[in-house]
Chains A and B, each alone.
Chain A
Amino acid sequence: MNYFLTEEQQMILDTARALAKSKIKPVREKYDEEGIFPWDIVKEMAAADLMGLYIPEQYGGMGGGVFALCLAVEELSKVCGGISLAMAATALGTFPLLLFGSEEQKAKYLPGIASGKHLAAFALTEANAGSDAGNMATTAVRDGDDYILNGTKQWITNGGEAQIYSVVAMTNKAKGTRGATAFIVEKGTPGFEFGKKENKMGIRASATRELVFNNCRVPAKNILAKEGMGFIVAVNTLNNSRPGVAAQALGIAAGALEEALLYSRQRVQFGQPISSIQAVQHMLANMATEVEAARALVYATARTIDSGEKSFAKISAMSKLFASEVAMRVTTDAVQVMGGYGYMKEYPVEKMMRDAKITQIYEGTSQIQRNEIALQLIKEAAKMK
């Protein structure tokens, strides 16, 4: 399929592909086994100018928008969906700044992120506030020119590794969803510590950690947007970042498809390569069709967002929902095509299957995406009459 990439977009793709092949592929198994954070690869990504793809040029980025981010995340995820997350989760943590940051905040934080010196993270989830983010218990109480944060955020990607955290806390519980506020909190701020590090099924090269706020004093000038706008910041951030997760899912699926296809031409059973068996061919055909459909949806969504179009919550949710479901099916089928070998750690598809699962869960589960899509559909229908 021809997606009519510009020369610059093609260069982004080529650069990410070269990096994935030469720097990530040789070490992905090690990072998966050991579950350590891939700082040396993050440095390579930074040196290749990939960490600031979506950040405007005036702050040291490449100004490529959501689409550039998606292209790079897809390419990297074809090889390792865990390592690529260092980039995608940094984008998640950076969108609040890009969308709602003041000029002063942007000038202070974006250049470090664009250069790849600093990673970012986004902290919404808590033990009792997952899909139901409104149930969060972390509080921020005004004290003079500061706010005092207390509470624990859970399962924060890039936790402990990132320098810059976009944190949502309740400033006025009585106001419900209008009572939350988003803050920038820097690593090293007194009262801000890191807690439990998770041991996960997949994306094991990604750090998932608790953030613990214990009378952590954050200046009021670190508020993103305004007090009370925390959930508006969060919702808009997720609308912008979901195509990035979709691209991660797409990359994982495309990587698994490639592995299965190559394998099917080598593996001989019943006197022929299994790629000659129609049952196998049909699996591969379905996988390839789904991957291409997911790619078309993700690219179109990213381009729509970059075009300046205002309402894209629905297509953003659709691309994340579809690509992540495709990733789970395609990786499961890749293991199936490869039979017992696919199940073994000597081949990368079992890892891809483990890595795919998270894309149906974080940044809103598949069920939550469907809720969002249906909500938008009904809103649109109500406007029609």
Chain B
Amino acid sequence: METLEETSPSQTADYTVKADHLSKTFGSFEAVRDVTLEIEPGAIYGFIGPNGAGKTTTMRMLATLLEPSDGEAWVCGLSINDHHQENLAALRACIGYMPDFIGIYDKMTCREYLEFFAAAYFIEPKRRAGLINDLLELVDLSAKKESYIEGLSRGMTQRLALARTLIHDPKLLLLDEPASGLDPRARVELRELLKELSRMGKTIIISSHILTELTEMCSHVGIIERGTLLASGKVSDILGKLNQHMRIVKLRIRPIKAEKVEVLRGILLNGPGVKAVRPLDSQPLTDWEVQVEGNEAELNQLLRYFVEKNVPLFGFAEQPTNLEEIFLQVTKGYVS
């Protein structure tokens, strides 16, 4: 960030990425519609959405590979709609883009691959060798330095691609589904690597349609569906917003007779703020899920109500809301 402020003191780049009604239509099809978002420096921004939601399209627009049909976006304070050579060069210098499909060159070693990109980013020749060693160290590929890329495993190729996106020390990393095709262990490694990069001060946008993948590392999320950004912001903010609307409470109840089940359901449904009730298992029926609207005070009332009604309760726990929950709720229209 220092360098940016040095070169252009007049620009107050509070956000690494800022999009304003960014849209893209292919023919008459609106792939991305009015995406407005802000991403702070240092954030790990999870970009979540089902297949065809417009994640790749949005990221390609930010990466200056695709021209928006409408709207505007700024990366590091630079407009993506200004196609002058100097502006494009400055933009590309602060963006590291990793596409969803990683193409590799055959008959090329990892070192040569990184050397090519170092040259393509005009990094001084005398700095290249050291830089490449550092990067290979960072992504744990030092042992494969002189191996051909086509001989690498999927996870290794992915890490090499990550090293490539880092070669010019960009401020923003645009990673399009970097974890696809990785085994659980490789995913954990990738996650640690991204956290490390975030600690190094990089802003990261990472897209995925697998939520659990993002749960642990994202500080921010954006949820996109059918081209529309449904929610965007800090994970904790979105959770808070969601919790005002809907909480999931799990109940454990001593097994009761089958004919009493409907009576119990009626009692549960009549609780204050209860919107829906759902048994989670069958014989013997012990676990229930209750959707409650309201805050902590209302939850407390609900618990009192259950006790008053002599519900044979031995467990009452609010479900920790995770990204998956957020996603399901948001796409159902609870948050907007």
Q: Do A and B assemble together?
A: no
